[in-house]
Amino acid sequence: MSRDTNEAGERYLLFPTAFGTCGIAWRDGGLTRLQLPERDVSATERRLADRATPAQAEEEPPWVQWAIVALQRYFAGRAIDFSSILIDLDRCSPFHQRIYAALREIGYGKTTTYGALAAEVGSPDAARAIGQAMGRNPVPIIIPCHRVLASGGRTGGFSAPGGATTKERLLELEGVRRSTTPPLLALLEQPRS
């Protein structure tokens, strides 16, 4: 694991997962960033180093250690509930915080749509704003923006490294089966004209 401290108190470290090397940053109030694997480890680290400094050996608090273990288990294919992991959203607008709170309610292996999420947060005409908020999500996976689909079951965008391909991999990892065609049995049961 890479590990130093900056004036703002934000620290980061890198850790291995079955998907590749991830990075995590935190302050005393909670996690501030989760960086999914980039094309190489140095690129992953550069994304975190712009606002935080590497943590010193054994500097991460127990709740950060737990978050790392939970993420490693998640990427290994285990169903993990991240709702108890502390996150620090002080840099996010109140609207984004409402969206992120609603996203955290979407359980493992479940999905919703941009429109449904907009209605959930009381802004039914804000599906586009929902997408923008998810594009700025500082802690993907823990705030599970990958579980939000476009209408008709389409994947929709994903701003993390790998884009929609990464989103598809995460949904597949969670056992989400998506299909825009009806199941064969439903086709067989349709009345003939």
Torsion angle, alpha carbons of 83, 87, 93, 95, to 10 = 0
Contact of 50 with 138, CB cutoff 8 Å: no
Burial, 17: exposed, middle or buried (Cβ in 10 Å; 0-12, 13-18, 19+)? Answer: middle
- Report strand pairing: 148-149 vs 20-27: unpaired
Among 145, 148, 149, 160, which one carries the catalytic annotation? Answer: 145
Active site residue 145: yes
Alpha helices in the chain (DSSP H): 41-49, 62-75, 94-103, 114-120, 127-135, 163-173, 184-189
Look up residue 25 and give its two tokens.
Answer: 């940053």
Look up residue 9 and give its two tokens.
Answer: 């108190």
Catalytic residues: 145
